[in-house]
Structure 1
Amino acid sequence: MAEAPTGILGFGRTGASTARALIASGQAVVVWDDRADVRSTAAEAGFPVRELAPPLARIVASPGVMPTHPQLKAAAAAGIPVCGDIDEFSARLARDPDVPTLTIGVTGTNGKSSVVGMIDHLLRASGRTSVAGGNLGTPVLDLPRLADGVYVLELSSFQLARCREFRPNVALLLNLGTDHLDWHGTRQAYVAAKEKIFLTQRPDDIAVVGIDDADGLRIRNRLTERPGAPRVVAVSAHQSCEGGVWVEDGVLHEDLDGGHRAIGSMDSLLRVAGRHNWQNAVAAWAAARSVGAGPDDLVPALADFRGLPHRMEELASVAGVPFINDSKATNVAAAAAALACFEQVCWVAGGRGKDEDLDPLIQLADRVDAGFFFGEDGPVFEAAFAARVPVFRFEHLDSAVTSAFAKARCGMPPQPVLLSPACASYDQFADFEARGAAFREVVEALARSES
């Protein structure tokens, strides 16, 4: 009797990657996506397409598929297990137990991609073989098989919520805010999903925990009390951490296996702007040290890190106006961290909001020369800031940026124009990357008009 196939629910980038990997390993699959055009594409590519109903060995659900999806509810009722691509990746590693690879997993509300990119850069610069992927860039099942080296994986709350077997050698929790409540239902469930990154770790593993927010501090304390817990390394951009990595008075410190040492001034060690990048840097430093990289290699490597696209990315200066692309700032905390980097800025924000409290942004209104708000939640931002700063509302991003440039160039000196939306992009763009690319196109058009 033929073995039941594995169902792939959601056939975007991750679902297609999972289907290819399972077929390559000799497993039968069937796929489903709620979008008719995607189903047609899958069928044309030769994948069997049908609604996911028994008999099925299991369902591998793509990260964006909501837990309330009818086919997942039916699977639960039928006793069909549901997992994600991260557990499939774990199973692949388990089939090669003699291959000396290590896995670093990174999660948090903000900074995940930057920290993954930073760790990957630090390891490569110190002579280690490293590949990065997961929620950032390449899906985990498309990553090359390493004979020796380190996988550095960005893990979303969606992916972690479905993990059962994944055990990272080094797990990082950077920070915890509020996000994705439409998917998780409650903030408690969101936090619990993030904390699952430590669930299967053992005493010979390492848990790196950011303690600059109350949730991170509580999780650090719980981990230290857990029987069979991993070694816990606390990191902070504000306070000293016994046995950890931190910044104090602008100086990077570590208290790891070699004891305490002051590494150097953050102003000389880090080129990417913003105090929030201090938190990213201490986490990346702790992770790289946890897999054997030495301080002498990491100091020049950290200073050479230029950041990732769409994250406080300096695009160009047009008529003396600097343009900064922070399209990845899809929530209030991320945008507040960006605004805090400037004394005065022309701020472009908006999109599809997440029903967050805007108070952390309002507290930074004295840094906003003028607000240029667009998209679905443009009126919400306009109402919140109208009594505090000059505000202008637009339907689309291009008009907002063009108007911001006209205002910014009149400053003495000209003010920066910052795109840091504090919102998701889905009202007008496929993702934050498409929004950032559109911002770049407007800036390039302005530069041509000035030449």
Structure 2
Amino acid sequence: MFPVTTFKGQKVAVFGLARTGIAAALALKAGGAQVLAWDDGEAGRAAAIAQGLIPIDLSTTDFADIAALVMSPGVPIYGPKQHWTVTKANEAKVPVIGDVELFARELNAIPESHRPMVVAITGTNGKSTTTALIAHILSSNGKDVRMGGNIGTGVLALDPPRPEAIYVLELSSYQLDLVESLRAKAAVHLNLTPDHLERHGTMERYAAAKRRIFNNQVATDWAIVGVDDDWGMALCTRMNAGAQRIVVPISACQALGKGVCALGSMLWDNLDGRSQMVVDLAHAHALPGSHNAQNAAAAYAAARALGLSAQAITKALISFPGLEHRLQEIGQIGPIRFYNDSKATNADAAAQALAAFPKLRWIVGGQAKLGGIDSLAPLFDHVTKAYLIGEASETFAKTLEGHIEFEQCGTIDVATARAYADAQQTMSEEVIVLSPACASFDQFPDFEARGRHFAACVKGLINPDDGLSAQALPAAETA
């Protein structure tokens, strides 16, 4: 954690006292601000007290002398569900910002010659893998890398700035909605497909939030844009017309006259007008599938933006160990391999897992997103059998009826055991994948907990006598 000094001597309201909110409150307090922190939930307030903060009820606070309202990114700031604190702030003309904006203001206060660089990554799918991959490439080449944002560590809990540091930040649309002054040396927009529309209302508003990642870039900064969807192609065209930055298209399925692309497993660099094959991604075992080819293209371009050579980048690409919960191989029993893709919380993310294997046994379900899994129909022939879990079981059963053999299992414990039992019967190579295409909140607090539980189930199958079988886990894990 490092102090936020740009609000020294001023009153700042902080709402939402989970991980990022508490970090923001502590950073502001350390920087000399008077912090008024609040959460509607008793658990959040208790967590703040445990960190030495004194909650102040913002519903009875006069916002007239508040310098800013720092919101948790998960709280709605517009639309019919706009939070009451935002309404109060708007009425008092108080700016509503987030922890990433506090971070940006601290960096902007540093003289440019000593300011750390920022690489920022967004997109509907693939941003966590791309963020981790960029951080791995940079750190493998001796750079002082701090990775955080929407992945792992909140930005204000990262190590303090120093001139040679590089911050590699995954940014969600929720976080970008609360950012005004962040400048990224390399900003990556991977893709855009329908998601979080319950928050943004329309695709246009969702797209506008994502575009904010390019705000404040200058002519020497790189805008790296995935062009394999219509939204990305339109964005790339729009920014090329503006000529305000270096625009680099990336693709996982088409040759590009300029940019970085993957054709099959081959990654091609055409940044200077001369096309060169730089690496065979088949050697990057932690990056299977075409979706990871796009991630690799984006990471390669971002590393080039920071001055790394093609050789240095591709060597690190091959050594990347993979990202936890994202098509992560977690075990093997004989010819049967298990993959944890718990981070696939929507159909588009799950499509990447289904496309990565010619045949798989699919554990799917949870709290369904808008549209369910209807869009995955073209990939149903990759599925040997589906094992349905969670709230979505009945709905998904209707979608799969007549297309895929399926079994309603209810929980991950049962689904894992049934998939393994079925796979054993074939006496051949099999792949079992948890790729839920759903949120986790019906049975787990987050996708990480869901992935860890699946891993524990697999470990129980691998080592049935070590006391870690799925059946031995506490009931609270699946409550």
Specify the TM-score bucket, using the shorter chain as the normaliser. over 0.9
* Distance in structure 2 (CA, Å) of the matches to 1:120 and 1:411: 41
Deviation at 1:44, TM superposition (A): 4.2
Contact 1:351/1:374 (<8 A) preserved? yes
Deviation at 1:250, TM superposition (A): 3.2
* Mapped pair 1:6 → 2:12: yes
Q: How does 1:310-329 map to 2 (within 5 A)?
A: 310-329=325-344
SS in 1 for 2:253: coil
Contact 2:265/2:293 (<8 A) preserved? no
Contact 2:15/2:71 (<8 A) preserved? yes
* Mapped pair 1:92 → 2:92: no
* Distance in structure 1 (CA, Å) of the matches to 2:366 and 2:47: 29
Deviation at 1:358, TM superposition (A): 2.4
Deviation at 1:45, TM superposition (A): 3.1
Counterpart of 1:369 in structure 2 is 384
**Residue type at the aligned position of 1:83:** I
* Distance in structure 1 (CA, Å) of the matches to 2:462 and 2:380: 28
Deviation at 1:357, TM superposition (A): 5.0
**Residue type at the aligned position of 1:63:** P
**Which among 165, 168, 173 is matched to residue 149 of structure 1?**
165
Classify 1:375/1:357 alpha carbon distance in 2 versus 1 (closer, same or farther; 3 Å): closer
* Distance in structure 2 (CA, Å) of the matches to 1:102 and 1:128: 11
Greater Cα shift, 213-222 or 377-386: 377-386
* Mapped pair 1:46 → 2:52: yes
Greater Cα shift, 391-400 or 10-19: 391-400
Identity of aligned residues (%): 38
* Distance in structure 1 (CA, Å) of the matches to 2:228 and 2:451: 29
TM-score normalized by the length of structure 1: 0.96
SS in 1 for 2:441: coil
* Distance in structure 1 (CA, Å) of the matches to 2:272 and 2:358: 40
Contact 1:269/1:299 (<8 A) preserved? no
**Residue type at the aligned position of 2:52:** G
Counterpart of 1:65 in structure 2 is 75
Counterpart of 2:150 in structure 1 is 135
Classify 1:295/1:422 alpha carbon distance in 2 versus 1 (closer, same or farther; 3 Å): same
Unmatched 5+ stretches in structure 2: 1-7, 467-479
* Distance in structure 1 (CA, Å) of the matches to 2:382 and 2:142: 42
Deviation at 1:292, TM superposition (A): 0.4
- After superposition, the CA RMSD in angstroms is 1.7
SS in 2 for 1:410: helix
Contact 1:269/1:300 (<8 A) preserved? no
**Which among 400, 405, 408 is matched to residue 415 of structure 2?**
400
- Encode CA deviations 1:337-368: one digit per residue, 9 max, x unaligned: 10111121110010111112523322111111
Counterpart of 1:291 in structure 2 is 306
- Encode CA deviations 1:100-149: one digit per residue, 9 max, x unaligned: 42110000000111001100111111222211111101111111123313
Unmatched 5+ stretches in structure 1: none
* Distance in structure 2 (CA, Å) of the matches to 1:45 and 1:122: 35
What is the number of residues matched between the two proteins? 449
* Distance in structure 2 (CA, Å) of the matches to 1:230 and 1:369: 47
* Mapped pair 1:126 → 2:144: no
Counterpart of 1:182 in structure 2 is 198
Counterpart of 1:199 in structure 2 is 215
Counterpart of 1:75 in structure 2 is 89
* Distance in structure 2 (CA, Å) of the matches to 1:249 and 1:448: 38
Classify 1:370/1:290 alpha carbon distance in 2 versus 1 (closer, same or farther; 3 Å): same
Greater Cα shift, 419-428 or 241-250: 241-250
Counterpart of 1:225 in structure 2 is 241
* Distance in structure 1 (CA, Å) of the matches to 2:24 and 2:257: 41
Counterpart of 1:22 in structure 2 is 28
TM-score normalized by the length of structure 2: 0.90
Classify 1:82/1:126 alpha carbon distance in 2 versus 1 (closer, same or farther; 3 Å): same
* Distance in structure 1 (CA, Å) of the matches to 2:372 and 2:245: 35
Q: How does 1:160-309 map to 2 (within 5 A)?
A: 160-226=176-242, 229-257=244-272, 259-269=274-284, 271-309=286-324
Contact 1:113/1:154 (<8 A) preserved? yes
- Encode CA deviations 1:380-428: one digit per residue, 9 max, x unaligned: 1111012112111132221111111111211241421100000011111
Contact 1:135/1:155 (<8 A) preserved? yes
Contact 2:100/2:155 (<8 A) preserved? yes
**Which among 141, 149, 174 is matched to residue 158 of structure 1?**
174
